[in-house]
Structure 1
Amino acid sequence: MARSGRPRGFDRDAALDSAMHLFWEHGYEGASLLTLRHAMGDISSASFYAAFGSKEALYREALTRYLDRHGSIIDALDDERLPPRARLEQALIASVAVQTDVAHPTGCMVTLSAMISSEASASTRALTRIERDATRQALRRCITAGVNAGDLDPGADVAGLVALYDGLVLGISIQARDGIPAETICAAIRHAMAAWDLHRSAPSNYGK
């Protein structure tokens, strides 16, 4: 009788973790179904499709898990307990800490895994684009909060600052993957924060 369903010992949660790390390390296209099944515990094709439905569906789940555990700086950028400048700097530094941690693949899964891929469907590529857009919107909210709080000049170039810090967020991923030390990237963040200071108005009492 043909075996169906999951083999004994199949741990869906652990398998999803393995898939997340594989997509994070090799990208959507670089993680073949055979490689995924092997990394997920040498599960059969039948078990794979029964548990996850498709490679694209698995990628969606893996991306959600990545964002929940490692990937998003949006909460930090929206943390109104801190002044906007501090939110931004701390969010960037925290991102460096995550992306240079060798306990898991370096870099950012959102930036690296599906940005350029001939195989990935448009809907799969759109998942990471949506997340990058969400980060840009959070950066805009944070910088606009700086203007509203009086820390940044009312005429500050918000769009330009968003583009600057968004470029830094994306660049952190590439530099982390290339092995640039965390302290070097953090030094770049300090230089980038000087752009905020150039747009400052009178000292702010925000948060006091």
Structure 2
Amino acid sequence: MMSNMGRPRTFDRDKAIENAMYLFWQYGYESTSLSQLKAGIGNGISAPSFYAAFGSKEALFRECVQRYLSTFGKVTAFLWDNSLPPREALEKTLRNSAQMQCEDGHPSGCMVGLGALSATSAEHAAAAEPLTRSRIRTREGIAATIQRAVDSGELGKEVDVMALSTSFSTFLFGLSIQARDGATTEELNAAVSQIMRLWDASKA
């Protein structure tokens, strides 16, 4: 008989990752306590069961980041779609991000953008590293999109690609603070229209 295999988990691990992701997204890595995480999984989970399922808070956080990047974080995927004209790729990224960050059903803002503020101590730098990598990748995607526009002649050869990409990156990550402070999709979309004038002013 195989009666000594241990009790099966009494929670849905996939759903637990989702619930934990929302907690980290709302409160940040440092401010989300182990007690909050245990209480937010199923009808509650004991510390031994938590560590058996996830290993550690940091390991769970990394799983949650990957869940976020493979779902909500895909709003930036247009930056790597070379079938789109560069301007359209950037504008779609900004508008889809603005819409996602203001949607009901999950915390406002962007987990990646807000993550810059949620694990600031050296002690937690390793946990925040996947978010840092994601922000770097997004900056590189914006810069590559602008460079593609310069190379194709859509933007002038004299454009300072780094300065322009930094402007758009700063705007994109700043949407997180605006959304968290209650800005509406309409307000953020109006801001997107405004900043896209920077692109139009740089046309060849």
Under a length normalisation based on structure 1, what TM-score does the superposition of the two structures give? 0.90
| Equivalent position to 2:166, from 163, 166, 173 | 163
- What stretches of structure 2 of length at least 5 have no aligned partner? none
In the alignment, residue 23 of structure 1 is paired with which amino acid?
F
1:126 is aligned, of 125, 129, 133, to 129
The equivalent of 1:195 in structure 2 is: 198
In the other structure, the counterpart of 1:95 is 97
Name the structure 1 match of 2:17. 16
Q: Distance in 1 between matches of 2:45 and 2:165?
A: 44
Conserved in 2, the CA contact under 8 Å of 1:5 and 1:47? no
**What is the match of residue 85 of structure 1?**
87
Q: How many residues are matched?
A: 198
Which residue does the alignment assign to 1:206? none
Q: CA deviation at 1:113?
A: 3.2
Cα shift at 1:57: 0.3
Structure 2 match to 1:46: 48
Q: Could you say which residue in structure 1 is the equivalent of 2:114?
A: 112
**Distance in 1, Cα, partners of 2:65 & 2:97:** 17
Q: Which amino acid aligns with 1:183?
A: E
Give the drift of 1:55: 0.2
Letter in 2 for 1:151: E
Report the Cα offset of residue 7 of structure 1: 5.8
Segment of structure 1 superposing worse, 97-106 or 110-119? 110-119
What is the alpha-carbon root mean square deviation over aligned residues? 1.7
Aligned runs of 1:144-155 on 2, under 5 Å?
144-155=147-158
> Is the CA contact 1:26–1:113 (under 8 Å) kept in the aligned structure 2?
no
Residue 114 of structure 1 and its aligned partner are, at CA, apart by 5.0
SS in 2 for 1:132: helix
Correspondence list, 1:170-181, <5 A = 170-181=173-184
Q: In 2, are the aligned partners of 1:73 and 1:135 still within 8 Å (CA)?
A: no
> Contact between 2:30 and 2:124, CA under 8 Å: does it hold in 1?
no
Check whether the contact 1:99–1:108 (CA below 8 A) recurs between aligned residues: yes
Identity %: 43
1:172 Cα deviation after fit: 0.6
Shift of residue 71, structure 1, vs aligned partner: 1.4
Aligned to 1:26: 27
In the alignment, the residues of structure 2 paired with residue 66 and residue 142 of structure 1 have an alpha-carbon distance, to the nearest angstrom, of 23
Q: Which runs of 5+ in 1 are unaligned?
A: 202-208
> Contact 2:27–2:118 at 8 Å: present in 1 too?
no
Matching residue within 140, 143, 148 for 2:143: 140
Deviation at 1:5, TM superposition (A): 6.4
The CA deviation at 1:89 is: 0.4
CA spacing shift, 1:5–1:15, aligned 2, 3 Å = farther
Task: Report the Cα distance in structure 1 between the residues aligned to 2:133 and 2:7, rounded to whole angstroms.
Answer: 33
SS at structure 1 position matched to 2:192 = helix
| Distance (whole Å) between structure 1 residues aligned to residue 74 and residue 198 of structure 2 | 23
Deviation digits for residues 14-72 of structure 1 (CA, Å, limit 9, x no counterpart): 11110000000011011100110000120111111011000000000000000101014
Q: 2:123 and 2:21 mapped to 1: Cα distance?
A: 16
Runs of 4+ in structure 1 over 4 Å off: 4-8
